């Protein structure tokens, strides 16, 4: 893993994994630290642990923003020896606890063509389910620093969690906000996603630093612009479904590239049909 953590606000640092541009956020308190997301494999997580220890030797509390492999498959490497608490939304925790084989299979299938070595590692990784769950909100004390974990509603997944560090004015948004590429809709709720982003925007100020799931940290105006695109997409899906248009027609008019837009249209139709 090239590079290390870069400070984006007072004692809040971000490391970007280069292969998939995944962000990991480290929040430093007095004698304690919080690590948001744990990457994909034991190898990546081991390198991440080295990068963390180059910054701090404080004991860690871990947070998973959601259940996708690139954000939580490193849990076992970072939280087992010694045992450390791992927080996630209750649905993300349930997915990791109840169906690890399915998650491994899906991760392998997603990456086997473009990244076969990583896919092979994912097929063998040991998954560790979170030990602490959030339904709507939880407040943590990280070495004297308040940190708020909040589920803003269904969006990228059913169990997204955002992390707010008020004293640094930082919001870690997970994959509810994307900078390195378009949003990913495979497990999404595109009709509810705009409401989830509106909810997280309510906790921001004009100066808030927003850490997306992938890519460069962004400002609130970037998030507002992506929110507007998600609103437009949801409107197109509803209109297309009402008019019995094929999802392909919705995708052709959507403000995102063709493939993710088609996935979003199909997911949105499933929401409206009550099958999502």
Nearest to 75 by CA among 112, 46, 108: 46
* Integer Cα distance of 247 and 38 in angstroms: 35
Residues with Cβ within 8 Å of 238's Cβ and at least 6 positions away in sequence, in order, are 191, 268, 272
Q: Give start and end residues of each alpha helix (H) in the chain.
A: 42-53, 69-72, 75-79, 90-98, 100-111, 116-124, 193-201, 220-242, 247-253, 258-273
63: which 2 tokens?
A: 């947070």
Nearest to 14 by CA among 214, 236, 252, 275: 214
11 backbone φψ class: left, alpha, beta (φ>0; ψ -120 to 50)? left
230: which 2 tokens?
A: 């998600």
* Integer Cα distance of 76 and 64 in angstroms: 12
- pLDDT confidence of residue 3: 73
Ordered structural domains, the chain, with CATH: 6-219 (3.60.15.10)
- pLDDT confidence of residue 39: 98
- pLDDT confidence of residue 276: 81
- Distance from chain centroid for Cα 166: 19
Ordered per-residue pLDDT tens for the chain, 276 residues: 657 999 999 999 999 999 999 999 999 999 999 999 999 999 999 999 999 999 999 999 999 999 999 999 999 999 998 899 999 999 999 999 999 999 999 999 999 999 999 999 999 999 999 999 999 999 999 999 999 999 999 999 999 999 999 999 999 999 999 999 999 999 999 999 999 999 999 999 999 999 999 999 999 999 999 999 999 999 999 999 999 999 999 999 999 999 999 999 999 999 999 988
Q: What is the pLDDT of residues 54-113, one digit of tens each?
A: 999 999 999 999 999 999 999 999 999 889 999 999 999 999 999 999 999 999 999 999
Q: Give the residues across from 22 on adjacent strands.
A: 17, 214
Nearest to 75 by CA among 25, 19, 159, 131: 131
Is residue 194 a contact partner of residue 268, using CB atoms and an 8 Å limit? no
Is residue 93 a contact partner of residue 103, using CB atoms and an 8 Å limit? no
Is residue 60 a contact partner of residue 46, using CB atoms and an 8 Å limit? no
- pLDDT confidence of residue 1: 63
- pLDDT confidence of residue 81: 84
Is residue 160 a contact partner of residue 196, using CB atoms and an 8 Å limit? yes
- pLDDT confidence of residue 2: 57
* Integer Cα distance of 24 and 63 in angstroms: 10
- pLDDT confidence of residue 82: 87
184: which 2 tokens?
A: 């990913």
Nearest to 130 by CA among 165, 95, 171: 95
């Amino acid at each position: 893993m090239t590079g290390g953590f870069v400070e984006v606000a007072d004692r809040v640092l971000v490391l970007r994994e280069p292969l998939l541009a995944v962000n990991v956020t480290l929040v430093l308190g007095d004698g304690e630290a919080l690590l948001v997301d744990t990457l994909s494999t034991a190898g990546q997580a081991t390198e991440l642990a080295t990068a963390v220890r180059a910054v701090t030797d404080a004991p860690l509390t871990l947070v998973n923003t959601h259940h996708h492999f690139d954000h939580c498959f490193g849990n076992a490497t970072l939280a087992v020896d010694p045992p450390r608490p791992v927080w996630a939304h209750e649905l993300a925790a349930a997915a990791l606890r109840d169906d690890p084989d399915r998650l491994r299979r899906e991760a392998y299938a997603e990456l086997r063509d473009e990244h076969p070595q990583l896919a092979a590692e994912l097929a063998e990784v040991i998954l560790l389910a979170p030990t602490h769950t959030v339904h709507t909100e939880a407040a943590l004390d990280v070495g004297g620093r308040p940190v708020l974990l909040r589920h803003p509603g269904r969006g990228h997944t059913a169990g997204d969690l955002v992390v707010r560090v008020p004293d640094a004015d930082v919001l870690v948004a997970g994959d509810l906000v994307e900078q390195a590429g378009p949003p990913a809709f495979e497990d999404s709720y595109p009709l509810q996603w705009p409401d989830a982003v509106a909810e997280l925007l309510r906790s921001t100020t004009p100066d808030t630093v927003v850490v997306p799931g992938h890519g460069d940290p962004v400002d609130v105006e970037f998030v507002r612009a992506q929110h507007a695109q998600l609103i437009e997409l949801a409107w197109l899906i509803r209109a297309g479904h009402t008019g019995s248009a094929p999802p392909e027609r919705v995708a052709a008019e959507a403000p995102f590239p063709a493939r993710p837009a088609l996935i979003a249209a199909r997911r949105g139709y499933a929401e409206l049909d009550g099958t999502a």
